[in-house]
Chain A
Amino acid sequence: MRTLMKGNEAIGEAAVRAGCRCFFGYPITPQNEIPEYLSGRLPEAGGVFLQAESEIAAINMVFGAAGAGARVMTSSSGPGISLKQEGISFLAGAELPCVIVNIMRGGPGLGSIQPGQADYFQATRGGGHGDYRTIVLAPCSVQEMVDFTYWAFELADRYRSPVLVLADGVLGQLMEPVTLPPELKPDNGNKPWATTGCRGRKRNVIKSLYLNPEELEAHNKKLQEKFGLMQREVNRAEKYRVEDAETVLVAFGISARISMAAVEAVREEGIKAGLLRPITLWPFPEGILQSSLPKAKKVLVVEMSAGQMVEDVKLTVSGKLPVYFYGRTGGLLPSAEEIQTQIKLLEVKVSERSLCQA
């Protein structure tokens, strides 16, 4: 059965269905419907909804609940996610699973409350201090917000790691029909490492502090091996008409939906364009991108930022093809027409191009 749901509320419902019974949040636009929805839904489901006094408090409540073995989630937007970074670093260091949702808005600073995608660097490079990465999932529809929230809990538990769901203000506020997944039992899974009371077993220790440098290096090595495993195992992207495409667009989230419309429109005019939509932003789907360029002569990256993912695209393409960039910032969305214009500009002889090569 399909239900009409707002993106933010759909994330809340998906979390409950994934067996999450703990949510710690704090108000910030444009993600308020997530805590609002869960403040009603979680008590009904026998869970805990708690509005903290700040984002810092909320993420550390997540630390506490995750350490006790609970499936736990928090959500915020740009400035709030920045405040959470210390906690996210601690969660990654202590190897605690949790789901963190970022409904991105325009930045930097207070920026705006309009949609943005400029938290890509923060999300995919760890974000906080120290050597760590988190898995980052980028939905482009309300259905994917449901599916990826559900999936995020599974990945978090599998790798004992925080997992980010990176959406934006459009998706958070968008209403679309969704098919909801079956409801899992609020089972916190098999977590022998959790601090659940050590009667009858050796005590568990959860920490990110290793004062002995050799010990810390060993811990870091172990973490890096885990991140390597994630890179091998978690790669997802959607290919759209790339088989014969001479111009391959790369875009994620809402930018990808708009780019898809632009690809269709220029195809009508005989321009062979295609789109690759990364779904896992970290690990970046390098292999899938490389396999999407059989006929490609150039790559155009479209983002709602001044150019962040374009760096990962360039690293992947590795100088074999020219990589161009088109972005809008400040809460503005690129229109399909604007993107079409950019694609057509690339068709013009190199000497006449006004477009900058990224």
Chain B
Amino acid sequence: MNGKNVLFIWEYVIREETDVAIKLSDLTHQKELLTGGHRMCAGCGAPIAVRQVLHAVPENAQVVTCCPTGCLEVSTSIYPYSSWRTAFIHSAFENAAATISGVEAAYRALKKKGKIGEDFRFVVFGGDGGTYDIGLQALSGMLERGHRVVYVCYNNEAYMNTGIQRSGATQLGTWTTTSPFGERSAGKAQNRKDLTAIAAAHNIPYVAQAAIHSWRDTVNKARKAFQADGSALLNILAPCHRGWRYPMEETVEISRLATETCIWPLYEVENGKWRLTHKVRQKKPLREYLEKQGRYSHLFRPENEAILEQLQAFTDQQWEQLLLRCGETTES
């Protein structure tokens, strides 16, 4: 059977507002730049995010990928093997943005001198630990200098590679191995920081928040990121069933619930203009998202109800603020 002639029954095309139509069938015919056979867990959200982003690489462009240490890096580049059909550079945990800045600066210099002709694109895939926490300084420097790099944070809300420790992306009340629950603690005591907004505050051409369940949205955003003349950042929710404690086959569903409960809204900031890319018509209560995950099981004990309410209140407040920024509501 000729693959090109197969019409997938789940193929559909919707032209949404200004977005360019993307056909799923086109994507399936594209060469995958992250090949199969890597050692990520079955049901991991990270390689889904990576493949969605790499499907948006402009045709004929060469790609240089940089990964700081993390699950993705250790599972896709174990010497002498590589799952990457791109040039690949591995940095330490704290300096992926600095490393790729150097590569991009060298490319510019070589291009200016006419020593390099091809179109190269530069992309970082870092986890939330390497992005929200230890790599934030290097990231901020890269964004401020405006290197033409697409920085992708595959966000699974904890340090999964080292064994599920809390990070700056971990939500309030979450169990991790360094935010345990018990008599003296009910999981993480702080709210997560808003990395997407921090990146947007650098006034770079393109910043977006995405999630793996919404492939068209993510590919669209990645296309815009690659088109941006300057730095771009994509913060993509990539659920981790090992760390979040849910059955591995539910990764996509969990991602969808995160958006439907508004704890992970999908939006973009293009040249300073905030826009909601998925309008949540019927906002679901956060409980529906939390109760599916073992990392929140302790929150359903009577003594932790206040934490549950706090997290709902924080989610509501962040959502309202986002609606305001996106011009969906006006301050009453």
Contacts of A53 in B (CB 8 A): 133-134, 136, 168
Query: Does A43 have its Cβ within 8 Å of any Cβ on chain B?
Result: yes
> Could you say which of B90, B165, B182, B185 contacts A35, with CB atoms under 8 Å apart?
B165
* Separation of A44 and B168 alpha carbons in the complex (Å): 23
Q: A44-B183, A55-B134 are in contact. List 10 more A-B contacts (CB 8 A).
A: A27-B178, A32-B163, A32-B177, A36-B165, A39-B180, A40-B180, A44-B184, A53-B133, A54-B134, A110-B69
With both chains docked as a complex, state the minimum distance between the C-beta of A25 and any C-beta of chain B, in angstroms: 8
> Could you say which of A25, A39, A110 contacts B179, with CB atoms under 8 Å apart?
A39
Query: Does A278 have its Cβ within 8 Å of any Cβ on chain B?
Result: no
Query: Does A87 have its Cβ within 8 Å of any Cβ on chain B?
Result: no
> 18 A-B contacts, Cβ less than 8 Å apart?
A27-B159, A27-B162, A27-B178, A32-B177, A35-B165, A35-B178, A36-B178, A39-B178, A40-B185, A44-B183, A51-B179, A53-B133, A54-B94, A54-B133, A79-B92, A79-B93, A110-B69, A110-B90
Query: Does A306 have its Cβ within 8 Å of any Cβ on chain B?
Result: no
> Could you say which of A36, A43, A54 contacts B184, with CB atoms under 8 Å apart?
A43
Minimum CB distance partner of B74 in chain A: A113
Contacts of B178 in A (CB 8 A): 25, 27, 35-36, 39, 49, 51
* Separation of A55 and B166 alpha carbons in the complex (Å): 15
Find out whether the CB atom of B185 lies under 8 angstroms from the CB atom of A43. yes
Contacts of B165 in A (CB 8 A): 27, 32, 35-36, 51
Assuming the contacts A36-B178, A53-B168, A110-B92, asked whether A27 and B163 have C-beta atoms less than 8 A apart, the reply is: yes
Give chain B's interface residue range (CB within 8 Å of chain A). Answer: 20 to 34
Chain A interface (Cβ within 8 Å of chain B)?
25-29, 32, 35-36, 39-40, 43-44, 49, 51, 53-55, 79, 83, 109-110
> Chain A at the B interface: mostly helix, strand, loop or mixed?
mixed
With both chains docked as a complex, state the minimum distance between the C-beta of A233 and any C-beta of chain B, in angstroms: 37
Minimum CB distance partner of B73 in chain A: A110
* Separation of A44 and B184 alpha carbons in the complex (Å): 7
Minimum CB distance partner of A82 in chain B: B92
With both chains docked as a complex, state the minimum distance between the C-beta of B101 and any C-beta of chain A, in angstroms: 18
* Separation of A83 and B133 alpha carbons in the complex (Å): 14
With both chains docked as a complex, state the minimum distance between the C-beta of A47 and any C-beta of chain B, in angstroms: 10
Contacts of A39 in B (CB 8 A): 177-180
* Separation of A26 and B166 alpha carbons in the complex (Å): 10
Contacts of A36 in B (CB 8 A): 163, 165, 177-178
Contacts of B183 in A (CB 8 A): 44
Minimum CB distance partner of A80 in chain B: B93
With both chains docked as a complex, state the minimum distance between the C-beta of A192 and any C-beta of chain B, in angstroms: 33
* Separation of A293 and B119 alpha carbons in the complex (Å): 67
